[in-house]
Structures are given as structure tokens and as C-alpha cells.
Amino acid sequence: MTQAQSAAATLPGRSNQAVLIVYGADRPGIVAAVSTTLAQHGANIVALDQYTDDPDGGQFFQRTVFDLPDLVVASQALEADLSKILGDDLGMTWTLTHRASPKRVIILASKSDHCLLDLLWRHRRGEIPMTVPMVISNHTDMAEDVRSFGIPFFHVPSVAGADKSISENKIIDLIAGNADLVVLARYMQILSEGFLDGVGVPVINIHHSFLPAFIGAGPYKKAKERGVKLIGATAHYVTEELDEGPIIEQDVVRVNHADTASDLQRKGAYVEREVLSRAVLAHCEDRVIRAGRQTIVF
């Protein structure tokens, strides 16, 4: 583990805290069951958020942060009771995550550096509870910048032609067992369904909000020609459907006729950095629940 990774792995005040995510068919008694079970095990609830999309037969979602002394030792008995009460009795899906363990986030990038360097800067400052085991790129342009953060850099060139399996398999081999999340920080390659299956962890992408209106090269030039008044960015989970995955975060900034295409690109890069970092933060804090084609973000 590098010095930068070691610093990010230290999460003070969270050694006895955990996040409980519960979701499934709504019914009376879910909140009471969670609260009672936690209280019986001596846990103190720190934060609780809940949402139902329809109180009459809809879907229920809940995120509970709690503190439990000697969590590592006590969690086995707690999980056994949660499995019986939430799983067997109430038919809910649930996960329990220890907050002291930061997410391992592997970043893929190409030539644009704004999103990548922003994430590495926030990582170094401890703003996002994550470690970065490595950065993988199909270009070498940012190798020295990445290494200056104490992060290993791996160059995996893209393979020309229709068969991307050679480069994708190399990336999968690098990621295997080393990541809880993959982030595409302006990684300018379309990933295959086989890659998504092989990588085995969620993948988050960032793109400008012009899609699908301005597909292809030079979107900001096209936007300037059309006289757009808003530009923005969207961060979403990657699925086999291109740019159709569940949206995590979005934002926009106003522009006007006096802005050049370069101005639009600069402002767009700013929004992309902000949106991607907020999406990664939400995921790393276990505040995102995927619900079909959308997300619940607490």
C-alpha cells in the first residue's frame, strides 16, 4: 500500500460504525423491525433515511447508520438476526457494510485529465472514503501526474478493430480482486457486455449532458452552433446499453451567446468534475440504492 493509499484508508471515528441498507416490498413494521433489532444488540442509530415510492404496495428503501461497540466481534450475531428478521420474515434485501473499510476504487482514463486529477486530489485530501489501488489508461499522457500522487499507473493500449477482448481482458486481470468500484474518468472507450460481466463490480461513468443531441467529436462546438443556454454533466452506472444506466448525479451551468466553444468546454469540465466526485462519494458512502433503471440516493 502506498503512502497516499494508507492515509486514505484511515477513517477516524468509524471503527464501530456500519451502514445497513434495506429495500423491498413496502409493508408496515420494517422501520420498527430494524430499530428493535439494532437496539437489542446495543447499537445506537446515528442517521436514518427512508423512502417509499408508494405506501400502498410500493417499494421501500432505507439507509441506517449505527454505532455498535466492538462492531467486528458483535456483527456476526447481529447479521444472523437481521437475516432472519429482514430476510426470512419480511422478505427484504439487505446489506451491512462497515464504515471503517473504504471502497477500493480503480480509475480508468484516457487523455483528458480533469476528472481523474480531481478524484486523486480529493482522495489525497481524504474527502472521499476510498483507496485507489491503481489508475489504468489507454494512453501514457498522465502517467507522471498519477504517480506523483503515489498511485500505480498501468498502460493498457486499446486494440484497433472490432475485437476489444485483448485489451479488456488485460484490464480485467488488473482489476480482479483489487476493486469494489471502477470509475471511468473520461475513459473514451465503449465497454463490452463481456467486460462488465468480467469486472464483477459496479462501474460509474461521466459524460456531458448533450447526449444524445450532440453525439461524436466536437460536442461543444456543435452546442455553440446551436446556441445552447445550459450545459451539464451526468454520472451513471454503466450497463450494456450505452449511456442508459441508472443516473446517480447531474448538474448544469448556464451559458450564453458570448461564451465561445472553449468557454463551454471549460465550464463543462468543471461540471463534470463536480458531478463525478459527488457520484463517487455517494457510492463510497453507501448512499445509493439501485432500483431497476433508476437510483435512490440518500
Q: Which residues 6+ apart lie within 8 Å of 276 measured at CB?
A: 115, 118, 119, 183, 185, 204, 206, 233, 235, 249
Whether 193 contacts 165, CB under 8 Å: no
User: What is the rounded distance in angstroms from the CA atom of residue 164 to the CA atom of residue 167?
Assistant: 6
Whether 282 contacts 249, CB under 8 Å: yes
From 81, 145, 243, 263, the catalytic residue:
243
User: What is the rounded distance in angstroms from the CA atom of residue 115 to the CA atom of residue 270?
Assistant: 9
Phi/psi of residue 65, nearest 5 degrees: -105, 130
The position carrying cell 475513459 is: 187
Residue 243 among the catalytic residues: yes
Length of the chain: 298
Strands (E), 70-192: 93-98, 103-109, 130-131, 135-137, 153-155, 181-184
Q: Which residues 6+ apart lie within 8 Å of 77 measured at CB?
A: 41
**Which amino acids are annotated catalytic?**
243
